[in-house]
Structures are given as structure tokens and as C-alpha cells.
Amino acid sequence: MSDIKLSQFGVMLIVLVMILVGCSSEDPETTPTTDPETVMTAAAQTAEARLTEIAKSTASQTPAPTTTSQPSPEAGVTEVTETSPPEGIPTLTPTVEELPTGTDKAAYVMDVTVPDGTEFSSGETFTKVWRLSNAGSSTWSTSYRLAFVGGAEMGGIEEVSIPIRVPPGSTVDVEVELVAPEANGTYRGFWSMKNSAGTLFDNSVYVEIIVVGGSDSEESTPAPSGDAAVSELSLRVEEDYATECPYEFLFSGTFKLNKPASVTYQFETGSNTSGFEFTLPAPVTGNFDAGTHVVSFNLELTDSVDGWAQLHISAPNDVYSDQESFALDCGGE
């Protein structure tokens, strides 16, 4: 009996399969057979074409700058910082200090303020301004300075920077804040340009003032008892006027020393002729016995000038002689 049921079940299963096959079958002429390899090839070509389009589109676009988030000092606020500069804005480069590349030379043009011989009260503050010309081949940067090099310091300022860049042939006004000394007398301070490497130029300018209304002149102030000091100082010129050019003026300086000492002295000159510059010897230091001593100076000139000279001793004490006037007229009379 079980065998009959199994046989019937098998027949029914076969019939059911045949019905399903018949329902799903279509006319072979209307349903083409697709080769699996053809389908895969077409799909691959389509994918390749799409990837090519994406690559072209990506290459023509500029990537946006990368940004990073950094915590802001304000609580709850995030500050966004770009790691690459925005398009169209140049990248800044650090400033590099310019070193001298040519010849450094300054020429005096004029005193803008405080002409020679201006009077000030003792301790009075004043502003000295020189107009200088760049007579060399290097450009002066703002690291160039005007430095104190000798004479009366007047306030203790050692140097000032020039305010602007000065190409060759251009001029600049350089100012220094100074203070008149306490003692009466005539004072001169010498200043020279210095380049960005710290090298002084080979010429200088000066400021000359007269202090009035103060204490007695330093020249007449006696030195403390027991200290070596110069007690007398004078300067004279053999001929104070000449018409033959070139001409050599001869100056003699006399000083008296109360005890043996090392003495530092310097011959100084000034001019009432605008733009005239002197070439002077450097300060001299020598050992002298107590007593009176004479030192001499030669000053050869080739151009007309109306000037003055003095002897300045800076050690063992700081004293000046009276001024001696002289003049050279190359035009003759």
C-alpha cells in the first residue's frame, strides 16, 4: 500500500514540474539567448568609461585647503586655521638684515637746527638735527646709525638710528636729543655714521654750543688736591690769515701739568663756511712730567675757509683752550 502511495506521489510531482516548465517557457524567437561573457564585457566597459569621467572631473578641480581645528581661548569656540594660503594671496617671507654692499660715505649738507655757537642755559635740553647726504655707493638701511665718537657728549646718548632708507645721492635729516652741560663754556661733540655691520665712516660732523648762566667754566675749575691735572691750556696760530693756496697753518698748544701724568690731547677745528670739512689727526696720548709742555699741529688747506681751532685735553682732566680764528682766501685780494 505504501508503495502505491509513493508511486502516485511521484507521478503528481512529475506532472507539477511539467506544468511549471510549460508556464515559464517562451517562444525562442522572441526571447534571445544572452551570452554571460558578453554581459560581463559590457559591464566592464561601462565601469571603465565612468571611472574615466570621474578622473577627468577630479583633475580639473582645485582641492580646498586643508583646515585644522585648534582650541580657542574662549570656552566653547573652535578656531579654524588654514594650513595653506588662500588663492591669490602671496606668501610672506621673513625680512633679512641688509649688510653693506658698496662704499659707505657721508657728506655734511647743513645744520637744520642749532647752528654753531648757539647759546643754551646750563642743563637745557635741545634737539640737534644734521642734514646728511649719502655720498657713497651703498644704500643706508634703517640699521645705519649716527654714533658719538668724541668731544663733549652732552647727555650721554651714544647713537641714534637713521629714520629712513637712503639710496646713494639722497639726503636724510638725523636728529639727536642732547643736554647742555652745567658749566659755562663752549662745547663740541663729534658724531659719525656707522653702518649695519658696526663700522664707522671715515668722517664726522659736530655740534657746537655755548653754555651760559651756569657755574664757572670747566677750564678754570681746579682739580682736586693730589690729582694730576692740567691747570693751564692755550693755543695760538702763527698766521691767522693767508691768500696763497694751498697754505699750511701752524698751531702751537701749551699746557701746564701739576704732576707727572698720561695726557690725551686732540686738535679740533670748526668752520663758518657751509659744507667745509677738515682732515684732522687722531687724538694723541703721551706721558708727560710735571711742568709746561708745548705740542704743535700743521693744517694744510687748499680751499677758501673761515674757521677756528682749539686744543682739547680729555685726560687726566677734560679741558679746552680758547678758540683761535683763521682764514684762507684762495681768491686773493
109: cell is 649738507
Q: What is the mean pLDDT of residues 7-27?
A: 55
pLDDT number for residue 138: 93
pLDDT number for residue 115: 93
pLDDT number for residue 102: 79
Percent of the residues in the chain that have a pLDDT greater than 70, as a whole number:
65
* Cis status, amide bond into 316, omega within 30 of 0: yes
Q: What is the mean pLDDT of residues 193-204?
A: 87
CA 126/CA 120 separation, integer angstroms: 8
> Is the pLDDT reported for residue 96 higher than 90?
no
Q: Which residue has the higher pLDDT, 179 or 12?
A: 179
pLDDT number for residue 60: 47
CA 303/CA 313 separation, integer angstroms: 28
- Residue 275, CB-side half-sphere exposure with 13 Å CA sphere: 5
Name the CATH superfamily for 106-212. Answer: Immunoglobulins (2.60.40.10)
Domain spans of the chain, in order of start: 106-212, 222-328
pLDDT number for residue 75: 46
pLDDT number for residue 51: 52
Confidence bin at 15 (pLDDT 50/70/90) = low
Confidence bin at 255 (pLDDT 50/70/90) = very high
Q: What is the pLDDT of residues 37-58, one digit of tens each?
A: 554 555 555 555 555 555 555 5
Q: What is the pLDDT of residues 294-316, one digit of tens each?
A: 999 999 999 999 888 999 998 88
pLDDT number for residue 277: 82
Question: Nearest-CA neighbor of 176 among 129, 224, 132?
Answer: 129
pLDDT, mean over the chain:
76
9: cell is 506521489
b (16+ CB within 10 A) / e for 223-260:
eeeeebbbeebebebeeeebeeeebebebebebebbee
84: cell is 595653506
Fold of 222-328: Immunoglobulin-like (2.60.40)
Q: What is the pLDDT of residues 60-71, one digit of tens each?
A: 454 454 444 454
Q: What is the pLDDT of residues 116-162, one digit of tens each?
A: 889 999 999 999 999 999 999 999 999 999 998 877 888 878 899 99
pLDDT number for residue 153: 83
> Is the pLDDT reported for residue 243 higher than 80?
yes
CA 192/CA 18 separation, integer angstroms: 120
Q: Which residue has the higher pLDDT, 167 or 21?
A: 167
pLDDT number for residue 151: 74
Domain 106-212 and domain 222-328, same fold? Reply is yes
Confidence bin at 317 (pLDDT 50/70/90) = confident
130: cell is 644734521
Question: Nearest-CA neighbor of 119 among 177, 185, 175?
Answer: 185
> Is the pLDDT reported for residue 76 higher than 90?
no
> Is the pLDDT reported for residue 16 higher than 50?
yes
pLDDT number for residue 140: 95
Q: What is the mean pLDDT of residues 265-294?
A: 86
Q: By the 8 A CB rule, do 190 and 204 touch? A: yes
> Is the pLDDT reported for residue 188 higher than 60?
yes
